Amino acid sequence: MFSEQDFGMFVRALTFAADKHQNQRRKGHDRLPYVNHLIRVTDLLWREGEVRDVPTLVAALLHDTLEDTDATADELETLFGAAVLAIVREVTDDKMLPKATRKQLQIEHAPHLSTAARLIKLADKIDNVYDVSHNSPEGWSHERQIAYLDWAEAVVAGLRGVNRALESHFDAVLCESRELLLKKKSP
């Protein structure tokens, strides 16, 4: 059960994430506020994955703050503790590296991540695959969308073995997304 303290931290993380990402929108053509993605990822963990570990759920809300906002590691540690910071760090790409290298490293690092980080990455890929196919980013060609799905599948291959429900949910969303993209291609 969530304690009063857990719930306090959860709400604080949601507020922090909404604030830090306030000027950021999702790439999809509906341009939803970025925080919707963070809520969906956390909701996938909670409902599909039945994840009840508090640091994992809090880190899910914060998973893109180090990569995409001016949030610092010190801030995260002070507000949410070392355990949450460690998970967020694990799911943060090194933005100094070129994009292609970062994508390759995600595939290579996946099997070495902690359970918490693997769960968050699984939920993240579920939401991103859904968005790329159902709410395609402006200007993405069919080939680019297919390539994204293939890459996500390769990353998830290295994440398996932590949560069967989330893994099957990923497979279902991936399969449905591929069918949708095929249908869009052939009128």
What amino acid positions are annotated as catalytic residues?
Answer: 67-68
Q: How far apart are the C-alpha atoms of 102 and 107, rounded to whole Å?
A: 9
Contact flag: residue 124 with Zn ion (CB under 5 A): yes
DSSP assignment of 149-171: HHHHHHHHHTT-SS-HHHHHHHH
CB of 52 to Zn ion, least distance (A): 21
Q: Which single residue brings its beta carbon nearest to Zn ion? A: 124
131 binding Zn ion? (CB under 5 A):
no
Per CB under 5 A, the segment of 24-32, 59-67, 75-83, 102-110 that binds Zn ion is: 59-67
Cβ-contact 177, 133 below 8 angstroms: yes
- Residues that contact Zn ion, how many (by CB under 5 A): 2
Nearer to Zn ion, 9 or 37 (CB): 37
CB of 106 to Zn ion, least distance (A): 12
Q: Residue 45 contacts by C-beta under 8 Å, 6 or more apart in sequence?
A: 51, 56, 57, 60, 119, 120, 123, 166
Residues contacting residue 36 through CB under 8 Å, at least 6 positions apart: 26
Binding mask 144-173 for Zn ion (x = CB under 5 A): ------------------------------
Q: Decide whether 68 or 75 has the Cβ nearer to Zn ion.
A: 68
Distances (CA, A) of 169 to 10, 34, 62, 105: 25, 22, 22, 24
* Piece in contact with Zn ion (CB under 5 A), picked from 17-25, 61-69, 109-117, 177-185: 61-69
Least CB distance from residue 37 to Zn ion, whole Å? 6
The number of beta carbons lying within 10 Å of the beta carbon of residue 83 is 15
What is the smallest separation between the CB atom of 17 and Zn ion, expressed in angstroms? 11
CB closer to Zn ion out of 36 and 115: 36
Token output for 82:
């070392």
Give min distance, CB of 21 to Zn ion, in A. Answer: 10
Q: Please give the Cα distance from 61 to 111 (Å, whole number).
A: 22
Which residues contact Zn ion by CB under 5 A? 64, 124
